Chain A
């Protein structure tokens, strides 16, 4: 009896020590996903980009951890798309991907897997096809919501403000009714907020529907992800268990159409391993 109790006691201690010391288990999970993603991306003729970890602070760069060394201000791990847009000066076509750490001001960390196609008229279609291929390779049950920043910008015009954007994002119709002065704009906004699942008569949506007929793509013009550089289409990628996996959208770089997305390694591995545990 005593022996059994001691045995259990030591086992529980060993378990704690084992969990605490296993600094490799997370990397092993990331590595198995990264290997699959890299194979697919090389097949798609994308090269791997190794971006700078630290950049001088600029208003054009978003996200990242702010840092100062008493001479200058810097951003550690800024958003890579904003970094590319700020620094890309040539008009080359580029097809790239990257695996990059992400640290924010709350010191939350993650690894980001990003894909960009720069200067390509069909960038959105190609990007969506790659995205589907990557997530299918992991057998993740996912959805992609597609919306348009441009529809919202055209609708809001003079009423465009961060306060109104926040209300749209939170679907707070009560507050919107008080904030928006123009009655017609007000009606149009409220109406647009109920258009989830509708392709509308919007050419970029129709083009995607024609070229990629995938039921996991959901047109949701009511979804408004505001970001300084997104030009029109925006994507939000999430799993059927309710985890946001990533997001993306198209943008203009040196006057050329480009598109990209990024995925969270933390969230992807969480989904895969919780699925395995359930099985």
Chain B
């Protein structure tokens, strides 16, 4: 039981692609029945969690996980990131109302709403600009629309939501893609098994 490799899958947008990716290397992922929180087969234990919690789970004991590199960076998790995966690609952008005209360098003292306050502050610090972040957990666009924030930093995939809400991107802060994350000590204790998984993944990327 203890030697089984535990894998954390992100619920939501990345789930299907993550499962498909594991199936391509011969790991057929099971889903828990009823209201159980995890399930297992002979070799693996499958855990399902919110994507934002995956780095925390992996840092604290789950062997392997999949999540976006934005979340790993935001949480500053002490985990290994051996692979960037070929799905979940999008971008993190600085966004303002369509009618406004600003450059990031002109945003001294602005209130910026975001799910990613650390990445946002680092971005503005690198420009020498001091801003105030408002940490929100969802529908970030609303805060710009209602003038609660002067600008927002959020994930943009197709840009459709921005378009429909009269918002526009003015700077790309990070390129986002999903990553394979691994617990540092699991990598030592289950080195051969985990390395085999990494090698197989490398071959199909």
Contact = CB atoms under 8 A, between A and B. Distances in A.
Given A170-B82, A172-B80, 4 more contacts: A171-B187, A172-B81, A174-B83, A218-B188
Given A196-B191, A197-B191, A243 B185 contact: yes
A194 B194 CA distance: 12
A105 to B, nearest CB: 13
Given A242-B61, A242-B183, A145 B188 contact: yes
Given A196-B191, A240-B189, A174 B84 contact: yes
A265 interface: no
Contacts of B61: 242
A223 to B, nearest CB: 8
Contacts of B188: 143, 145, 196, 218, 220, 238
B186 interface: yes
A175 B69 CA distance: 12
Contacts of A172: 80-82, 84
Contacts of B81: 170-172
B185 A171 contact: no
A171 B82 contact: yes
Nearest to A238: B185
A173 interface: yes
Q: How large is the interface on B (under 10, 10 to 19, 20 to 34, 35 or more residues)?
A: 10 to 19
Contacts of B186: 242
Nearest to B185: A242
Contacts of B183: 242
B56 interface: no
B79 interface: yes
A173 B84 CA distance: 9
Interface of A: 143, 145, 170-175, 194, 196-197, 218, 220, 238, 240, 242-244
B185 A244 contact: yes
6 nearest A-B pairs in the assembled complex, by CB-CB distance: A242-B185, A171-B82, A174-B84, A170-B81, A171-B80, A172-B81
Interface in B176-197: 182-189, 191, 195
A174 B61 CA distance: 24
Contacts of A220: 188
Nearest to B181: A170
22 contacts: A143-B188, A143-B189, A170-B79, A170-B80, A170-B81, A170-B82, A171-B81, A171-B187, A172-B80, A172-B81, A172-B82, A175-B84, A194-B195, A197-B191, A218-B188, A240-B189, A242-B183, A242-B185, A242-B186, A243-B185, A244-B184, A244-B185
A220 B82 CA distance: 16
A244 B186 CA distance: 11
Interface in B63-105: 79-84
Contacts of A145: 188
A237 to B, nearest CB: 11
A242 B189 contact: yes
Nearest to A236: B188
B71 to A, nearest CB: 14
B40 to A, nearest CB: 18
A240 B191 CA distance: 13
Contacts of B83: 173-174
B21 to A, nearest CB: 15
A143 B190 CA distance: 13
A275 to B, nearest CB: 13
